[in-house]
Amino acid sequence: YGENTPGSIVANTLRFFSQGMKVAVEISIMALEAGLIAPGNEVIAIGGTDEGADTAIVARPAFARKIKEYRVCEILCKPRLA
């Protein structure tokens, strides 16, 4: 508990934008790794919380083991900061 692993650092960084940003990045990586999208393709990924979708991005996903190659090309929408 309380360790800063590379995965937790990435997750916490994405949460600075919104929980939906973290979810959108995760689901696009999962879709790539499941073979549902081809490497190098841009996709629109939508994420949110249990209250609903609140974030949409255009991204070029990378495999989890190559997370530094992941590119968020555009943030289409995200929650407004309070």
Output the pTM of the full model: 0.90
pLDDT digits (tens, 9 = 90+) for 27-56: 999 999 999 999 999 999 999 999 999 999
Nearest C-alpha neighbor of 55 from the set 63, 47, 66: 47
Tokens of 66: 């190559």
The topology under which CATH files domain 6-77 is Pyruvate Kinase; Chain: A, domain 1 (3.40.1380)
| The residue type at 25 | V
Residue 81 pLDDT exceeds 90:
no
